[in-house]
Structure 1
């Protein structure tokens, strides 16, 4: 899983860029020196003939040593400004709870091979890719939360629970969210709360237990976001309808969006197994990492030194002196 974040470059000492005024200062001094040299030059009548024999040197070649020297000054000034880059690093304090619907409607095969198996594979891939020290737990539920693993760096119990889920019964989304909320770390007496979040995957409307929107408000008050994934298509069906027919089991994206919005998170709608894996991967990167500033002074400093040596070599080679 990529832990990349949008690249952002900042500078710890931006006032150092004032040193770039050295560039026009050097140009002015060189121009003044050249004018002075022309005023005091001694002319010899044979110089034009000698110049014709030697040939004319391109202007860019004459100015190349100075240009390289100015580039070296600019690079060293950038190094003095102490550039920093924003990178994503694992947040070892993070605790996540996966809340997985294992109600009977998850037998629907509108998402291949079926909803529950697609959810199982995506959740296991999620566990395999997030940083090892991030604590992850799981709640499996149908008409009640019937299996709970508290957040832990040990993935074995969580993986075992996910593999053991079987579709049966109704959908007690609110009860499952409350159990997940209770399993996450409480606010410490001193210091900030460790990063925590809940990822809820469900395909249907809640049929049992407490109203999930009530629990979503509790999560929002505790600053624990509940990211929701509504899985399935409107055409999903399972056996058990009237007269031996099929029973429609469309997802309920409206309620899932409300849960996410109330708790301060994002909602997703998925009707494809590959898309489900992509969303889990995105959430894994978002919830298990944090942005950190890393100084990258060494790169412009090295470039400045290389350019400085290059300018010196060009000056000595062309004129027998430094530029």
Structure 2
């Protein structure tokens, strides 16, 4: 989540040829408050309670190699949209019952004020429950999931990311699949999906790979290799689900990970909007705990808002 602060800075006065000072010109500098998820862990031998004393001075954040001013560090994740994206291809028949039950338990355990949404994909992508806090509607949508046709994995991910690009909260995407992409329309569908990850607010993806580790996974284009990269680039983790009976445990692991997150806040100027900026977060030397990002490797500043029309 980002808050925009606009500061007007006076420019230096210039003298004209007659020695008179020209009027001051104000320069507008846009300053953004960036809210980012992190994981905070005690150092070896330290007591976990030591982390409660963490202050902004204990955290170092850089964007594109330049330090930014950290203004807050606190337990508790940023407000998060939980996007559940489930493969309903034909191969999921016999597995969806466990997936439905585990997904319902997951959304029931979420904080009431955090939104959640549901997409299903086979050879097409369908939004079955838009982002919101109506848990009854979401449960009904999950209960109606049925297997059909093929697997357009990367088309589905790109579609979801593009729909959520304007959503102001951090996004946690739970991507459930049991196989490689077989029906995405574009030859470069995977590359397009990775390009769509570049949001201003953090997007964290948790691929849940159902019964995929037992299959061949050779080379950088193999299904699990791509899902590992997806998790690594967004601060998530690839979760191996050996069979349908382990769905609930896998979703519980994700929920516990999200519940353990902290929030770091910093201020950054919106230079070069649209240009990806690598984000690095660490604890300062001597800090009582380790700190690492729970979000993506890149942040993409959006253009400043348009000024209101002149009347």
**Into which bin does the TM-score normalised by the smaller protein fall?**
0.5 to 0.7
CA contact (8 A) 1:95 1:184 kept: no
Deviation, 1:122, is: 1.3
1:202 and 2:187 aligned = no
Q: How many residues get paired?
A: 192
Q: In structure 2, what is the Cα distance between the partners aligned to 1:274 and 1:87? A: 36
**CA deviation vs aligned residue, 1:161-205 (integer Å, no higher than 9, x gap):** 211111110001122112221332527xxxxx5221211000011
In 2 relative to 1, CA 267–200 (structure 1 residues): closer, same or farther, beyond 3 Å? Answer: same
Residues 124-159 of structure 1: per-residue CA shift (max 9 Å, x gap): 111111211111001011100133322211122222
Which residue is 2:81 aligned to?
95
> Within the alignment, does 1:255 sit opposite 2:233 as a pair?
no
In structure 2, C-alpha distance between the alignment counterparts of 1:139 and 1:172, rounded to whole Å = 13
Distance, in Å, in 1 between the alignment partners of 2:208 and 2:98 is: 13
Which of 250, 256, 259 is the equivalent residue of 1:285?
Answer: 256
Query: SS of 2:176's equivalent?
Result: strand
Q: CA deviation at 1:278?
A: 1.8
1:224 lines up with 2:203 in the alignment: yes
Look up the SS of the partner of 1:225 in the other structure: strand
Asked if the contact 1:88/1:291 (under 8 Å) is kept, the reply is yes
Q: What are the equivalent positions in structure 2 for 1:256-271 lying under 5 Å apart?
A: 256-271=227-242
TM normalised by structure 1 equals: 0.51
| Residue number in structure 1 paired with 2:49 | 8
Contact 2:204/2:231 (CA < 8 Å) preserved in 1? yes
Measure how far apart 1:116 and its partner are. 1.5
The 3 A distance-change label for structure 1 pair 12 and 184 is closer
Contact 1:229/1:269 (CA < 8 Å) preserved in 2?
Answer: yes
Contact residue 130 and residue 288 of structure 1 kept, 8 A: no
Unpaired segments ≥5 residues, structure 1: 14-85, 108-113, 188-192, 237-250, 294-323
Query: 1:142·1:168 contact (CA, 8 Å) conserved in 2?
Result: yes
Alignment RMSD, CA only?
A: 3.2
Tell me how far 1:235 sits from its aligned partner. Answer: 7.5
DSSP-derived class of the 1:143 partner: coil
Larger radius of gyration between Structure 1 and Structure 2: 1
Going by fraction, where is helix more abundant, 1 or 2?
1
Residues 301-320 of structure 1, C-alpha deviation per residue, up to 9 Å, x if partnerless? xxxxxxxxxxxxxxxxxxxx
Matched, 1:174 2:145: no
- Is 1:126–1:281's contact at 8 Å kept on the other side of the alignment? yes
CA deviation vs aligned residue, 1:206-253 (integer Å, no higher than 9, x gap): 1112423431332145541221011025779xxxxxxxxxxxxxx943
